[in-house]
Structure 1
Amino acid sequence: MAGSGGKIVVLMLNDEYGTSKGGISTIHRGMACLLISKGAKVYSTVLEATKGDMDDAEADGVELIFPTTSKGDPRQPELRWLTFDHRSRYPDLPSDVDFILGHVHITSRAARHIKEQRFPNAKVVQVTHVIPEDVARFKSEEKELSIEEEKAAILDDLDHADVIVAVGPRMYDYYKNETGEEERLQEFLPEPSEIFKNTQVKYRKTNMKVVLSIGRVKGVERLKGYDLSSKSMGKVFKIRPNTKWRVRGITRDDFSESKEIIQANAGKFNFVPFTPLKYATQEELSKDMQQAHVVLMPSRAEPFGLVGLEAIAAGVPVLVSDKSGLAWFLDQDPDFDRPIVEIGDDDDEEEAVQTLAKRIIKVLNRGEKEFEAARRLKERLLGSKYWEESHSKFLEIFGL
């Protein structure tokens, strides 16, 4: 089976093409590049794209497909257009699609609908990024009460997939149990981009120290552990007052609420200063990491944790929550588990704060020794080429 010019044609469904929002979109782009490297023709839907996104797609060899809009229509593009209005909003999809790739639970329902209504002979590949039982309870009671419905919708989409791709060992383990599948289920391990692999981090011996957090605050502060970070940084500032805490991933629209969230969690420390930074490209994140003395990823639940992987690949000291999928991956090899920090359960919050604060202070105090350890970890991780087997299996799905 092959479409355009004898090439396998893959239609990838996502809301954006780029890496500035991290996570799903970064993995989406990585998969696209992997497919193209083996000769596939790849299309990717987007709701909108910046010039940088379009330049990235052109450089990668990916053809972007935008929704049609009407002049004067004030409505902004949304994911429901892909799911329910794809015939009118995306009328110009390629005619010879062999595979449709969706992301759970962002575009997994759209992948089903587009196959059923337009490409009945195409195979559907669903990529899993979320464990609803872990994530929802840290967002809101409404989300927590809807776990059963969300999980049922995800499993329904996966039941109609030809192949299920789980990002990381934690996700693989979860969906192996929930679907009872082994034949249709594969694990995918992300490879850090060349930008981070080529980043040259050098310890900067200064009195000022920089602690870097990456990811939005609003609505996910407990999920991403920003409440723990806020309290921990209050303790850090007491010991090392000449420390800067930079938070990358805050927009102008959510700055006020993000600031309120962080200060509300400062508790007895009254005020915890931080530097808000907008979403960034991988090139900008690389520069952030070169200026940082430690990167934090203290999530209470993290299906994988790409930010932590990128920091390790860059060679900067990083502290990774033991509740993350990245910790599951690192813990499989005694050479890799150095960054893991125990966050503990909800009833041990103060203990988690103390543990995290002590680890941050220790990293800052040890200085160059921590950077040397981070360099060795980078070399071992990248030298292992841990991603190769999973990437080969991923390509086999598409006959490549």
Structure 2
Amino acid sequence: MSDQDIPFRYIYFIKNRVSNKWRDLAGFLAFDTPTINNIAGRNIDDISRCEDMLGEWRLRKGPDATMGVLMEALTDAELEGIVKGLKKKYPGLADGAGAGKRTGGSGKRRITGSRSKPVVLMLNDEYGTRKGGISTIHRGMARLLVSKGAEVYSTVLEATEEDKNDAATDGVQLIVPATFPGDPRQPELNWLTWDHQSRYPKLPPNIGFIIGHVNLTSRAARMIREQRLPDAKLVQVTHVIPEDVSHYKSDAKVLTIGDENDSILEDLKHADVIFSVGPLMYDYYKSQTRQLKPHFEFLPEPSNVFSTTEMTYVDTEMKVVLSISRVKGVERLKGYDLVAKSMGIVFDRLPHTKWRARGVTAEDFPESKAIIQANEKKGKFTPLKYGTQEDLSKDMQQAHVVLMPSRAEPFGLVGLEAIAAGVPVLVSHKSGLAWFLRSQDPDFDRLIVEIEDDDEEAAKTLAKRIVKILTDGHREFQAARKLKEKLLTSKYWEASHRQFLDAFGL
């Protein structure tokens, strides 16, 4: 065993004996107070905090995180009893762990970017924000890395002129797939996963990190690392929880939950570090992975497009209720059937109300319309195609309330964006966003609506909340403005962004 390869059995022994002294140990391993407090807050007990802290230490220090350094820190923290116990239980450790002082360490360093500008390859199907969710977070991460000096490349399946301009503005270089004369096939994710050698033959040199998104490009990231870039570190970002969302899709999706979970965990097993978007996802994958993997929560910062949006309330009879999500195939997951039932009640009370839904493609419109009308007979449904963040901002400026009534939602970025814009919002209590809001301030509780399992009761509850907002608009917009200020001044995202940048040596 080389000194820098710390086996899990040593970590297991240490974390179960350090107990509430983990803060002292963290101090001797050069953690600052804000980071220690952050580790404390995101874990439920001292054993988990110690494990998390040791994982982050190993991630930060790379080959310099040696067993010799760790035992020296234990001794400095007056935990020499643990060191003696380790040597007694594992006699070979006494002979081989003396090297590796805190000033350095030996062994070949993988490319981490801590001594030079890191080169990062990010894998996604698009560069833009039209599809929201993963794509928005992908672009946000890219911009964050560039802002601290990283050289960032992003794969895409296709790129519009707008995408190219956005990437150029962000300082990100796009990598488009090779196409061949006479080949009629349209770009698809399999090109990234299984055909990357031919479709993306010229990857940049000196790539130190690969970022994949679970479960969109996580397998592609793993394949490219294994087959072409074995010295790069693999960073996986989790966005989905199949056990939650698939139950509200099709029977076929339900039957594949086990396979999908296994596939995700296999990709995560090969990662060097994992980031999970929001507290719900972080908690879930912390439980799922179990093994010692550096794993951190990532909280997205709302785009300036929303934080700089100016909302003006005008008291009119005509009101706008805005939904943002695709409909086809996820009508139950996203709660469109509940909204349709609720809007029938709202139209009876407030007949001049309009219901707009952003995220309906032309191809999906007939089926999406049928889904809506099956639940709401009055037909006051205005479909809007997928749009950019600028389009969403304009939608919000015209809306009186934004709805996010999902039956399951690992995070709920669009709801966060609406809060940042300053428009009244209703968020399902089953969402990761609701979990996040409850951890911030009790004032955010006013945004959370209980989505009961009984559909009729859930629709009535939602309708009642919508009507209250529409009939008391001036007060609701004042409250929304205050919550916007509270959200943005908290700078809740800063600690998680520091951890993210630390992973890349920035």
In the superposition, the TM-score normalised over structure 1's length comes to 0.97
What are the within-5 Å matches in structure 2 for residues 14-163 of structure 1? 14-163=124-273
- 1:334 is aligned with what amino acid? P
Q: Is the 8 A contact 1:45 1:66 kept in 2?
A: yes
Partner of 1:334: 442
Question: What is the alpha-carbon distance in structure 2 between the residues aligned to residue 299 and residue 104 of structure 1?
Answer: 20
Query: Partners of 2:406 and 2:497 in 1: how far apart?
Result: 27
Give the letter aligned to residue 397 of structure 1.
A
Offset from partner CA, 1:45-88 (integer Å, 9 cap, x none)? 00001111111001000000000001232100100110001000
The 2-side partners of 1:72 and 1:358 are apart by: 57
More helix by share: 2
- Matched residue, 2:382: 275
What are the superposed Cα offsets for residues 20-43 of structure 1, whole Å, 9 maximum, x if unpaired? 110000000000000000000000
Separation (CA, whole Å) in 2 of partners of 1:112 and 1:119: 10
Structure 1 unaligned regions, length at least 5 = none
Amino acid at match of 2:225: K
- Do the aligned partners of 2:401 and 2:426 also contact (CA within 8 Å) in 1? yes
Which amino acid in the other structure matches residue 378 of structure 2?
Answer: F
Aligned to 1:199: 309
Structure 1's 372 and 75: CA in aligned 2 closer, same or farther, altered over 3 A?
Answer: same
Alignment of 1:290 with 2:400, yes or no, is no
Structure 2 counterpart of 1:358, which letter?
Answer: K
Alpha-carbon distance, 1:183 to partner: 4.7
Aligned to 2:95: none
Partner of 2:498: 392
Deviations 1:230-267 (A, max 9, x none): 0000100000000010011111111000000001122x
1:311 aligns with 2:418: yes
Match of 1:300 in 2: 407
Q: Following TM superposition, by how much is the alpha carbon of 1:204 offset from its aligned partner in structure 2, in angstroms?
A: 1.6
Partner Cα distance (1:167, 1:337) in 2? 21
Structure 1 ranges of 4+ moved more than 6 A: none
Q: Does 1:226 align with 2:333?
A: no
Distance 1:350 1:182, change over 3 A: farther
The residue identity in structure 1 corresponding to 2:414 is V
Deviation at residue 6 of structure 1 after TM alignment:
3.8
Decide whether the 8 Å contact of 1:108 with 1:126 is kept in 2.
yes
Shift of 1:2: 6.1
Once the two structures are superposed, the pairs formed by residues 205-220 of structure 1 within 5 Å of their partners are 205-220=315-330
Structure 1 distance, partners of 2:430, 2:464, is: 18
In the other structure, the counterpart of 2:60 is none
Measure the CA separation in 1 of the matches of 2:130 and 2:226: 32
What is the TM-score when the length of structure 2 is the normalising length? 0.77
Identity %: 71
Task: Report if the CA contact (8 A) 2:274-2:293 is conserved.
Answer: no
Question: Does 1:360 pair with 2:470?
Answer: no
Letter in 1 for 2:374: A
8 Å contact kept, 2:272–2:293: no
Larger RCO (CA within 8 A; separation ≥ 6): 1
8 A Cα contact 1:176 1:182, kept in partner: no
Rounded to whole Å, the distance in 2 between the matches of 1:272 and 1:300 is: 23
Give the whole-Å Cα distance in 2 for the aligned partners of 1:251 and 1:118. Answer: 37
Letter in 1 for 2:451: I
- Which amino acid letter does the alignment assign opposite residue 283 of structure 1? E
* Equivalent residue for 2:480, pick from 374, 377, 400: 374
Q: Distance in 2 between matches of 1:81 and 1:170?
A: 31
Structure 2 segments unaligned to the other structure (5+ residues): 1-110
- Paired residues in the alignment total 394
Query: Deviation digits for residues 309-347 of structure 1, max 9, x if unmatched?
Result: 0000000000000011000000112132221000022xx
Secondary structure, counterpart of 1:11 in structure 2: strand
Q: Give the letter for the 2:416 counterpart.
A: L
Alignment of 1:340-351 (within 5 A): 340-345=448-453, 348-351=454-457
Letter in 2 for 1:350: E
Q: 8 Å contact 2:282–2:296 — kept in the other structure?
A: yes
Shift of 1:182: 6.1
Q: How much is the aligned-residue C-alpha RMSD, in angstroms?
A: 1.1
Distance in 2 (CA, whole Å) between partners of 1:181 and 1:260 is 46
Aligned 8 A contact 1:233 1:272 in 2: no
- Is 2:372 aligned against 1:262? yes
Query: What SS does the aligned partner of 2:178 have?
Result: coil
Shift of 1:181: 4.5
Q: Tell me the amino acid that sits aligned with residue 146 of structure 1.
A: T
